[in-house]
Amino acid sequence: KRVAILISGGGSNMLRLVEDMTGDHPARPVLVASNDPSAAGLARAERLGIPTASVDHRDFPRDRAGFEAALLKPLLDAQPDIICLAGFMRILTPEFVTRFAGRMLNIHPSLLPSYPGLNTHARAIAAGDREAGVTVHEVTPELDAGPILGQARVPILPDDTPEVLASRVLVHEHLLYPAVLRRFAAGDRSPVML
């Protein structure tokens, strides 16, 4: 299976996915693309010999469709079987998502369906939750709402700040996403619960 990974920043999740796609893993990375040409993850991917691309969404103000049309070019050239959104911070239109229905994954730092959207850790702390976590799900037109492919639960400690909690959750993201992609690429959509 050919995997394209979309990032917006450091790409720590992308890195873990790439590092896991070796040996008997049924998938291989074929492209790392970003909406930000300065995303540090692009340099990390290049160092690993993975083709990269970037389309600056700021070149398409109030033109989401134009941005996506530009992003589609390198994406389709890579002929991916699976697309992994990994720290990708742009909302994709239903038209774009529908093109890859059933084969686009995203990682979201909360226990969906709780806390779709942004600032998930601050919201969980403010709500007095004792648990946070991370979800990998299939991407559907509705934001952060597709079928769940994996979850990991993470304790919230009494004096947690959102930053401290985010770093604790990130460790579990790095374990969950590769485990889900291995299973998904082998054709198994049963959820990975860590």
Task: Please give the residue ranges that form the binding site for ligand GRF (CB under 6 A).
Answer: 7, 9-14, 41, 86-87, 107, 109, 166, 170, 173
To the question of whether residue 23 is assigned a binding role by annotation, the answer is no
Secondary structure (3-state) at 115? coil
User: What is the DSSP secondary structure assignment for residue 57, as one 8-state letter?
Assistant: G
Shortest distance (Å) from residue 25 CB to ligand GRF: 19
Q: Is the dihedral of CA 151, 157, 161, 163 positive or negative?
A: negative
To the question of whether residue 90 is assigned a binding role by annotation, the answer is yes
Identify which of residues 40 and 69 has a Cβ nearer to ligand GRF in the complex: 40
Identify which of residues 11 and 150 has a Cβ nearer to ligand GRF in the complex: 11
To the question of whether residue 58 is assigned a binding role by annotation, the answer is no
Shortest distance (Å) from residue 86 CB to ligand GRF: 5
β-strand pairing of 148-155 with 192-193: parallel
Whether 137 is a known active-site residue: answer no
Rounded-to-integer distance, Cα 144 and Cα 25, Å: 27
Give ∠ CA 133-138-141 in degrees, rounded to 5: 110
Catalytic residues: 108
Annotated binding site: 11-13, 64, 89-92, 106
